[in-house]
Amino acid sequence: MTDRKMIAKSLIKGILAAMVLLFLIGESSAQMQASLIFNLNLPDIALIDVEPRDNNNITLNVPPPVRAGEGLDVSQVRNEELWINYTTSRKSNGASRSVQVAMDGTVPAGIQIKLSASARAAGEGGGVFGAPAGALTLGASPQTLISGIGGCFTGNGVNSGHQLVFTLEVTDYALIEQVQDANLLLTYTLVDN
């Protein structure tokens, strides 16, 4: 056998050996793989509360005038003790959520109750927070207090979320009567937009 034939034969054997080796490596690495099905379920989340939870009732006391001829001064009548907290998942269709407020009960004649929410307090929380609507005159029909809420959590408790500010406005002195207790119920609802 000539040298050329021996070299060619050796070369062919080497190539075949390399192919067999590559095949075996491919087989062994294919045997080292595993797969699984991973399921993830994230529920629709829409939670809201008013803090402090133990005492979230408020009283607005109107001081009487000190001199004859003076009117009621409600400029200092306000309450800023309550905070609204929420946790919400983003809707699959991309829609945002809003906080609506409605009042049950009758406001004394000649007076309006105003409610506004602050921008979200810094600190805990994360995500896409809602934007306050500005001062609302409370009534029986639901009104949007905070809009544009995406997936987020505001943090829990006082000094987290949005601070609520209640004020009074005298609209008609001729209608004002003495009121001992005007009990009003406010309902806050997270709604899909």
pLDDT digits (tens, 9 = 90+) for 81-102: 999 999 999 877 778 999 999 9
- Asked if residue 77 belongs to a domain, the reply is yes
Same structural domain, 22 and 103: no
Same structural domain, 99 and 188: yes
pLDDT digits (tens, 9 = 90+) for 15-49: 766 676 666 666 555 567 888 999 998 889 999 99
Of 115, 101, 113, 102, nearest to 171 by C-alpha is 113
Main-chain dihedrals φ then ψ at residue 121, nearest 5 degrees: -70, 145
Same structural domain, 50 and 24: no
pLDDT at residue 86 in the model: 97
- Give me the number of domains the chain comprises: 2
Q: Where in the sequence is the domain holding 1, given as residue range(s)? A: 1-35
Same structural domain, 156 and 78: yes
Same structural domain, 53 and 8: no
Band (pLDDT 50/70/90 cuts) for residue 133 is very high
pLDDT digits (tens, 9 = 90+) for 100-123: 999 999 999 999 999 999 999 887
